[in-house]
Amino acid sequence: MHKARWTAAAVAVVIASGSLGMALPASAAGTGAAQTTATACATGWGSLPKSKADGSAAPRSLTDIRTGRHDCYDRIVVAVPGSGTGPLGYDVRYVDAFRQDASGRKIPVSGGAILEVRVHASAYNPETGDPTYPGKAGKALPGVDLKGYRTFRDAKFGSSFEGVTQVGLGVRARLPFRVLRLPDRLVVDVAHTW
């Protein structure tokens, strides 16, 4: 009889211990699902200014600006179709205030830091002057909704002046970013963390 009681007691202790172990957070329990499913987000990008000269003398026009969310960063893409005549020029940097080209007018941009994106492409057709992108100075980027983004807070159109279009991107903090030049677009990724 004593053996049966000890066996029942041992089973009860094991069940209770197993239940308690299940209730422990993953960090206290050793390896857990939370640790194995976390995404590694090391970037090494830095937050210093990044720029490249325009590789084409031909004027270019941008047609769209859109954004996207990823596991480790938020992305803004400036579409410049037909720009395969040479690498697209750009200048991307953190600024203390976002100021409209030519006028110098300060444009308010929400967020903990402002990333200015300057692309060597017009928001209009250089030959006709007809708009190719509907951005308005000081206004939010058309069609861009940043609800639910981890890093992006605001995106304002600055101007399109002398073949350069500028956008003020409000971000949560001064975070690392990278710039990718592709044949028909410029991509800027801003990391969620350092």
* Tens-digit pLDDT profile for residues 178-194: 999 988 899 999 999 98
In a domain, 42, yes or no: no
User: Is the predicted pLDDT of residue 169 greater than 70, yes or no?
Assistant: yes
| Chain centroid offset of residue 146 CA | 10
In a domain, 45, yes or no: no
Q: How far apart are CA 118 and CA 125, in angstroms?
A: 17
CATH code of 117's domain: 2.60.40.3500
Provide the domain limits for residue 170.
Answer: 50-191
What single string gives the DSSP state of each residue in 72-112?
A: SEEEEEEE-TT-TTSPPPEEEEEESS-B-TTT--B----SS
In a domain, 113, yes or no: yes
Mean pLDDT of 95-113: 97
| Predicted local distance difference test score (pLDDT) of residue 83 | 60
Tens digit of pLDDT for each residue in 6-20? 444 443 433 333 333
60 and 32 belong to one structural domain = no
| Predicted local distance difference test score (pLDDT) of residue 145 | 97
**Residue 75 bridge partners (DSSP):** 68, 189
Write the DSSP symbol of residue 58: S
**Locus of tokens 């037909």:** 82
Task: Report the number of distinct structural domains present in the chain.
Answer: 2
Q: HSE-up of 186 (CA within 13 Å, CB side)?
A: 30
User: Is the predicted pLDDT of residue 23 greater than 80, yes or no?
Assistant: no
Mean pLDDT of 31-50: 69
User: Is the predicted pLDDT of residue 21 greater than 60, yes or no?
Assistant: no
Q: Which residue has the higher pLDDT, 24 or 40?
A: 40
In a domain, 135, yes or no: yes
Q: HSE-up of 128 (CA within 13 Å, CB side)?
A: 6
pLDDT band at 84 (very low <50, low <70, confident <90, very high): low
| Predicted local distance difference test score (pLDDT) of residue 190 | 98
Phi, psi of 131 (to 5 degrees): -65, 140
Q: Which residue has the higher pLDDT, 20 or 163?
A: 163
User: Is the predicted pLDDT of residue 27 greater than 70, yes or no?
Assistant: no
128 and 93 belong to one structural domain = yes
96 and 66 belong to one structural domain = yes
User: Is the predicted pLDDT of residue 24 greater than 50, yes or no?
Assistant: no
Q: How far apart are CA 73 and CA 191, in angstroms?
A: 4
| Predicted local distance difference test score (pLDDT) of residue 39 | 65
Percent of the chain with pLDDT over 90: 67
Task: Output the six-digit token pair for 72.
Answer: 């480790």
Q: Which residue has the higher pLDDT, 154 or 10?
A: 154
Mean pLDDT of 116-137: 95
Mean pLDDT of 63-70: 97
Contact, 18 vs 153, CB < 8 A? no
